[in-house]
Amino acid sequence: MATVKRYPLKLSAISELLSDLEKMRDGLADLPQTVVADMTQRAEKQFNDALGIGATPGRQAVISTSSSLVHADKGEATGRLTATGKTEDTGFNILMAVEFGAGIAGMDGLTNPDYPQLPYGTGTWPGQTHAFDYSGWYYPADDGSWKHTYGTPAGMPMHYTIQYVKAEMPRAVREEVRKWLT
């Protein structure tokens, strides 16, 4: 809750008001960069939490984040969230499998209500070779053995992270502005 400060109508109070307004203006100049840096950290955590839901054991997907001030004079900042996945010799990208599902285990992704908004579903992304392989397939595990799988359901960590950022951004801005109003 913001604190209300009263300024009586006398010269000393008016100069105090002007001073307080200048401090607020100077502090809020960093608002875009502060909010974007905070949101990229939150997005990275959200991605890693969501990745745990659909990640295939022994595989890896990596997220990297960065934020920067784009135009200091305009107070614009940008954040970047980049996910990369291990790519097999066959061209199969693990991150795509985790995001959109792979094999018959991921077939429920075709009926996922979020998929009409997305460009891909199980069996539709480049390099997907086992989408309709009902007997499953084998993949080389990190320990050198071969593991059988029927695929992986769509975990959609990037999709859920984007939805999270959209929902949380207004709250992050309010929290930061509230710091300067108290």
Domain ranges of the chain: 11-181
Pairing of strands 146-149, 61-71: unpaired
Q: Residue 89 has what pLDDT?
A: 64
DSSP 16: H
pLDDT tens for the chain, residues 1 to 182: 556 677 777 888 888 888 878 877 777 777 888 888 888 889 888 888 887 754 544 455 667 777 776 766 667 788 888 887 777 666 667 777 777 777 776 665 454 555 566 666 666 666 667 777 778 888 777 788 998 888 777 778 888 888 999 999 999 888 887 776 66
pTM beyond 0.85: the answer is: no
Q: Residue 90 has what pLDDT?
A: 63
Q: Residue 166 has what pLDDT?
A: 92
CA dist list (Å): 5 to 2, 80, 120: 9, 39, 54
Token pair of 27 as six digits: 């502090």
Nearest to 13 by CA among 24, 2, 3, 5: 5
